[in-house]
Amino acid sequence: MAYAKSLSGLTTREEIVDVVYRVCLALDSNDKALWESAWARSPDITLDIGGNVSTGLEKINAGFDSIGPMDTQHLVSSVRVDVKDGSDKAHVTANALAQHFRAGQGQVPNADHLLVGSTYDIQIVKQADGAWKLKTWVLKVTWTEGTWDVMPQS
């Protein structure tokens, strides 16, 4: 199923939050076009997962290519948005739970998994076309349950 890259009728804050939801939905549905639609078109965009920093869409996509095929579910809550009226920059913080299974193993009873509790610290920018996009995404792992062995090796 292909998901919409943008939604209509949203307020500024809803548009900003939708960027976070969209990037997580892209991971869970292995939808690279949706994933790329959430990122700003800038060579200095960054994804920082526990201090492992990827800069530029090509390197960020390598992470997607590893995680996207897995059976995952990213649940985001406690979203806070700091944006001033008329600004083209927003700061978002959120909590997340992300469940990870090897591809095809999500519904296998007692399959190895990795559940990750984390905080997101995200900078979102408004593009020239009016769309809000990710500039930086810092994911800080707070706790884990399960085994890191399910994660693809880079």
Confidence of residue 1 (pLDDT cuts 50, 70, 90): confident
So what's the pLDDT on residue 151? 96
Kindly state whether residue 2 falls inside one of the protein's structural domains: no
How does pLDDT run across 74-101, given as a tens digit for each residue?
A: 999 999 999 999 999 999 999 999 999 9
Average pLDDT over residues 17-44: 97
Q: Which domain holds residue 42?
A: 12-150
How does pLDDT run across 4-29, given as a tens digit for each residue?
A: 999 999 999 999 999 999 999 999 99
Kindly state whether residue 79 falls inside one of the protein's structural domains: yes
Kindly state whether residue 109 falls inside one of the protein's structural domains: yes
High-pLDDT (> 70) share of the chain, %: 99
Task: Count Cβ atoms within 10 A of the Cβ of residue 18 and give its class: 0-12 exposed, 13-18 middle, 19 or more buried.
Answer: middle
Task: Count Cβ atoms within 10 A of the Cβ of residue 132 and give its class: 0-12 exposed, 13-18 middle, 19 or more buried.
Answer: buried
Task: Report the CATH number at residue 120.
Answer: 3.10.450.50
Domain count for the chain: 1
Kindly state whether residue 55 falls inside one of the protein's structural domains: yes
Cα(44)–Cα(120) distance, integer angstroms = 18
Kindly state whether residue 114 falls inside one of the protein's structural domains: yes
Kindly state whether residue 5 falls inside one of the protein's structural domains: no
Residue 2, pLDDT above cutoff 90? no
Cα(10)–Cα(18) distance, integer angstroms = 9
Kindly state whether residue 101 falls inside one of the protein's structural domains: yes
Kindly state whether residue 1 falls inside one of the protein's structural domains: no
So what's the pLDDT on residue 154? 61
Residue 45, pLDDT above cutoff 90? yes
How does pLDDT run across 123-135, given as a tens digit for each residue?
A: 999 999 999 999 9
